[in-house]
Amino acid sequence: MNRKVFCNFCGERLSIDHLDEKERQVCRNCNKVYYENPLPVASVILSNRNRETLLVKRANEPFRDMWCLPMGFAETGESIEDAALRELKEETDITGRIVQLVDVGSHTNPLYGELLVVTFEAEKVTGIETAGDDASDCRYFPIMNLPKLAFDSNEKAIQKYIELKKDLWNIYDSVDTFVESALKGKTPYTKPLLSDELISVASTNSKKIINLWLDDITTNPSTKSYHHLDRKDLFERAAFIIDKFDLWIKGEKSEKELKDFYYDLAKRRKEENVILEDLVSSLSLLKKHIWMFTYSFGVWEKAVDIYRMFELGERLIYFFDKAAYYTVMGYREF
C-alpha cells in the first residue's frame, strides 16, 4: 500500500517516527499521527441443500480466473453485514439474508496491503445465480471438494464453516438413513447412524445391563410371575437378545428370525406359567435398562449428543414394539 506524502491538515511533508514500537507517519508541523489500519472486506458463504457452496470466478486481477467466495470492500456508511449482502447481490444477483458470523481473519494482499476479512453465512432469499460485477462466472461446488481458492482467508473460513455445520449435517444424515431404513422398511441400513455407537456400548456392557434387569424383574410388582424363575436361565435368554441386538436393530437379521425367536420365547414362558402381562412388562423393562445404561454414558454438551440418545430411544421403541407384537402372537398361538 502506498504511504501518504503530505499531511491532510497543513499540507506539510510527512516524516517517519518510531511510536508505540512501530514506524508511523507523522506531521512534525501539526503533530498529527497517521495510523495505517487494515481495510475491511466482507465475504459470504452461501450453500444449498446439497451442501454445495456458491463461488465466483474473478474477472480481474489479482488472481484473475481463480475462484473465491463472493466478497469485496465495505464502503463508508454501510455495515459490514450490508457490505456482505451487497457484494453477494453484485457478483451473483442473489438477494440474501445473513444467518451468522463464521470467521474474522487477516489477509495480506500485494495490491491493497493488510485486509480484515469478515465472513458470514447467508441464505438465499431470491434471485437466479448470474455472474456480475467483478465476476466472470458463478456456480455451486461441493463444499468438501472445492477448487483452489484465490484467498487463504476464504480457505480458512470454509474450514471453520464445515466445523460449525458438521454435527448438524451428521444429524441430518442419520435422520435420513433411519427414516429410509426403519420407517420405510429398507433394511439393512445403508449408512451408519449416530446411535450405532450407543448400541455398541449396550452390547459391550450386556452383563451389567442384564443384571440390572434381573434385579428389576425379580422384584417388580409388574412381573410377579418372574419372581420364581431361574435367574441363570433368564440371564442366558437376555444375553442372547442383547448379543444379537445390534444385528437385529440394524436390520442385519431377517424379520422371520426375529419372529421365530419371540414366538419361541413366548412358548417357553407360557410353559413356565408366566402370564402374558408380565412377559410384555419384562420386555419393556429390558428396553428401559438398555436406554438408561447408555444414557449414563452421555455427555450433554452438544445437540448431536442429545439427538443420539433420542435416536436410540426411537430405535428401541421400533424394535421392542415388534418384539412385543410377536411375543403376544406367539403366546396366544400356544
Q: Is there a single domain that holds both residue 20 and residue 57? A: no
Q: Say if 44 falls within a structural domain.
A: yes
Instruction: Judge whether 244 and 253 are in contact, CB under 8 Å.
Output: yes
How high is the pLDDT of residue 183? 62
Q: Say if 87 falls within a structural domain.
A: yes
Q: Say if 213 falls within a structural domain.
A: yes
Q: Say if 172 falls within a structural domain.
A: no
Q: Is there a single domain that holds both residue 49 and residue 1? A: no
Long-range contacts of 139-143 (CB under 8 A, 24+ apart): 139/54, 139/55, 140/48, 140/50, 140/52, 140/53, 140/54, 140/55, 141/52, 141/53, 141/55, 141/67, 142/50, 142/51, 142/52, 143/47, 143/51, 143/52, 143/53
How high is the pLDDT of residue 296? 85
Q: Is there a single domain that holds both residue 224 and residue 328? A: yes
How high is the pLDDT of residue 99? 97
Whole-prediction pTM value?
0.76
Strands (E), the chain: 15-19, 22-26, 33-34, 39-46, 52-58, 67-68, 71-73, 95-109, 113-126, 135-142
Q: Is there a single domain that holds both residue 4 and residue 69? A: no
Strands 95-109 and 113-126: antiparallel
How high is the pLDDT of residue 107? 81
CATH for 24: 2.20.70
How high is the pLDDT of residue 186? 57
Mean pLDDT of successive 10-residue segments in the chain (334 residues)? 76 84 86 84 96 95 92 94 97 97 87 87 97 92 96 95 95 86 63 87 90 95 94 87 74 82 92 95 94 82 88 89 94 90
How high is the pLDDT of residue 189? 66
Q: Say if 191 falls within a structural domain.
A: no
Round to whole Å and give the CA distance between 206 and 200.
10
DSSP result, 59-90 = -SSSSTT-EE-SEEE--TTS-HHHHHHHHHHH
How high is the pLDDT of residue 247? 76
Q: Which domain holds residue 27?
A: 1-36
Q: Is there a single domain that holds both residue 235 and residue 292? A: yes
Number of domains present in the structure of the chain: 3
Q: Is there a single domain that holds both residue 78 and residue 99? A: yes
How high is the pLDDT of residue 297? 75
Q: Is there a single domain that holds both residue 150 and residue 201? A: no
CATH for 269: 1.10.490.70
Q: Say if 146 falls within a structural domain.
A: yes
How high is the pLDDT of residue 187? 58
Q: Say if 183 falls within a structural domain.
A: no
